[in-house]
């Protein structure tokens, strides 16, 4: 008999909680036991509809903070033989982490926050005008080029949401735009539009970084709903103490350098939000 994913248990305060890596490993195993094929977002977007006949779990990871946590999640997926697409903010695009994720054969891209960053600088809390949109689109092109220069060509990007400025949406920059003009094939959010997703499952649905209350992934898989887009944030699966260590290192140590060789002997931690332009 197959094993089922562990039930979500009440968690300790986030600052004291342990890592949830066994839970994530069990989540992936349960999907496969129910006949789901597990694919990276980039792979799924490029597939034909005929290739998507079987129940499918699509993996996308947004690395919002604590870049080291991405290494553990990637190792779990590699061990299970599954692939995923990874999107790094500038603050988490640590060269050692990005290189390790790519070395395992995963896709990487930019988790852009170009518009919200500029809106915060301009104190445009109520929204943005056409001028700011145009300026931010020029900046996004430059950021994508910089990311590709540092880490190699990329095929896709996804927008980051900023709770400090909820009226501003980074996704506006690529909505209904030709992404080729930005040096990529597609925006991961835009690519979902009209694709008849069966369910959008995310670990950002609760304060503690868990699935939405009342949602048991094992029950979703048993229902054979398809396709399921699973959007996770590796830091939500790390332990509370490791999160605090990351924050302490960020506060105490010099900024992370984008150069791979110059970063090898420095601890991996969250860096600056500013792109290296």
Distance CA 86, CA 41 (A): 9
Residue 262: inside a domain: no
Is 272 among the domain residues? no
pLDDT in tens, the chain (277 residues): 444 444 444 445 566 788 999 999 999 999 999 999 999 999 999 987 666 778 999 999 999 999 999 999 999 999 999 999 999 999 999 999 999 999 999 999 999 999 999 999 999 988 899 999 999 999 999 999 999 999 999 999 999 999 999 999 999 999 999 999 999 999 999 999 998 999 999 997 555 667 877 789 999 999 999 999 999 999 999 999 999 999 999 999 888 877 766 767 778 999 999 998 8
| pLDDT recorded at residue 215 | 85
Specify the number of domains making up the chain. Answer: 1
Residue 109 included in any domain:
yes
The Cα-based distances of 176 to 53, 115, 180, 192, 271 in angstroms read 28, 16, 12, 13, 32
Length of the chain: 277
Q: Is 0.95 topped by the overall pTM?
A: no
Q: Which of 86, 40, 93, 102 is nearest to 68 (CA)?
A: 93
CA proximity to 57, closest of 70, 44, 48, 74: 44
Within-domain flag for 52: yes
Dihedral, CA of residue 11, residue 16, residue 21 and residue 27, to nearest 10: 10
Rounded distance between C-alpha atoms, residue 61 and residue 58, angstroms: 10
Q: Is residue 128 part of a domain?
A: yes
Residue 207 lies in a domain: yes
Judge whether 121 lies within some domain.
yes
Main-chain phi, psi angles of 165, to 5 degrees: -145, 70
Q: What is the pLDDT of residue 106?
A: 98
Domain assignment present for residue 11? The answer is no
For residue 219, the enclosing domain spans: 21-255
CATH number at residue 249: 3.20.20
């Amino acid at each position: 008999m197959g094993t089922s994913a562990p039930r979500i248990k009440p968690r300790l305060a986030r600052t004291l909680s342990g890592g949830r890596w066994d839970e994530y490993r069990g989540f992936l195993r349960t999907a496969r036991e129910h006949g789901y094929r597990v694919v990276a977002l980039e792979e799924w977007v490029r597939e034909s509809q005929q290739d998507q006949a079987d129940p499918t779990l699509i993996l996308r990871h947004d690395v919002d903070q604590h870049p080291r946590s991405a290494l553990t999640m990637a190792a779990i997926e590699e061990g299970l033989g599954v692939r995923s697409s990874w999107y790094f903010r500038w603050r988490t695009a640590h060269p050692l982490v990005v290189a390790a994720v790519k070395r395992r054969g995963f896709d990487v891209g930019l988790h852009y926050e170009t518009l919200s960053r500029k809106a915060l600088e301009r104190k445009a809390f109520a929204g943005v005008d056409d001028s700011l949109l145009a300026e931010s689109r020029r900046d996004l092109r430059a950021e994508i080029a910089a990311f590709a220069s540092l880490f190699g060509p990329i095929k896709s990007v996804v927008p980051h949401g900023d709770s400090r400025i909820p009226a501003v949406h980074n996704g506006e920059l690529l909505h209904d735009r030709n992404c080729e003009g930005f040096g990529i094939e597609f925006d991961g959010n835009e690519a979902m539009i009209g694709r008849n997703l069966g369910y959008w499952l995310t670990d950002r649905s609760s304060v503690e970084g868990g699935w939405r209350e009342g949602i048991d992934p094992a029950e979703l898989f048993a229902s054979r709903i398809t396709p399921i887009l699973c959007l996770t944030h590796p830091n939500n699966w790390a332990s509370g103490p490791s999160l605090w260590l990351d924050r302490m290192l960020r506060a105490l140590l010099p900024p992370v350098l984008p150069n791979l060789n110059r970063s090898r002997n420095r601890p991996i931690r969250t860096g600056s939000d500013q792109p290296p332009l």
